[in-house]
Chain A
Amino acid sequence: ETGVTQTPRHLVMGMTNKKSLKCEQHLGHNAMYWYKQSAKKPLELMFVYNFKEQTENNSVPSRFSPECPNSSHLFLHLHTLQPEDSALYLCASSQEPRVGKLFFGSGTQLSVL
């Protein structure tokens, strides 16, 4: 148990669906992150949040929309996804942004049909 919880663990959606991924951290950290990991590829950093404010968006398509209502919760809203968006989506947190070790959730395995 890392202190970072992601739901759901698995998600199958069609290209016209709208769904959301949820992440919650119980560590009192100030920074949260979304990563994408496609099959046999390195982790790709998508978004960085610091104290609820988005500080980085690494050229992520607008069909991915993050939301951080407070420093403990992070969402990733999905709409009109493509099959190539199928991947493991990982949430992570750290005490401060870009400092110290990252704590990851178990991820959401997303399949887009």
Chain B
Amino acid sequence: LAKTTQPISMDSYEGQEVNITCSHNNIATNDYITWYQQFPSQGPRFIIQGYKTKVTNEVASLFIPADRKSSTLSLPRVSLSDTAVYYCLVEGGANNLFFGTGTRLTVIP
């Protein structure tokens, strides 16, 4: 199984750009990389998904290097409402339903 490793927690001030990196050394050729956001007492919410290079949507950007062994979620100009847990998943085959411990992001005023 492709295991993911993320920092347990991060702090950031409002208005700053936040980059959360995820390592997935055993990613398979058919695997996609997906990020979810979870607020307390709610289910995770899909943020972004990518296969290689860069993907951008209205919420975030996802950077994936050529070897695909890591990925970086970039949140531009975070606000207090971005305080949440962010999960990186490698999706494909037997891997895509298993969430790790995630990264707890705290945005400070």
Contact = CB atoms under 8 A, between A and B. Distances in A.
A106 B97 contact: no
B15 interface: no
Contact of A33 (B49, B91, B97): B97
A113 interface: no
Interface stretch (A13-21, A66-74, A78-86, A95-103): A95-103
B96 A106 contact: no
Interface residues of B, number: 19
B49 A101 contact: yes
Contacts, number: 46
Contacts of B98: 45
The residue among B42, B97, B99 with the most chain A CB atoms within 10 A of its own CB is B97
Interface residues of A, number: 22
A103 B97 contact: no
Binding site of B, secondary structure by majority: helix, strand, loop or mixed? loop
A69 B15 CA distance: 48
A109 B102 contact: no
A92 B100 CA distance: 17
Given A90-B43, A91-B43, A100-B91, 8 more contacts: A2-B45, A42-B99, A42-B101, A98-B93, A99-B91, A101-B49, A102-B36, A104-B42
15 contacts: A4-B43, A33-B97, A42-B101, A42-B102, A48-B97, A90-B43, A90-B44, A91-B43, A98-B97, A101-B34, A101-B46, A102-B44, A102-B97, A106-B43, A107-B41
Interface of A: 2, 4, 33, 42-43, 45, 48, 88, 90-92, 98-107, 109
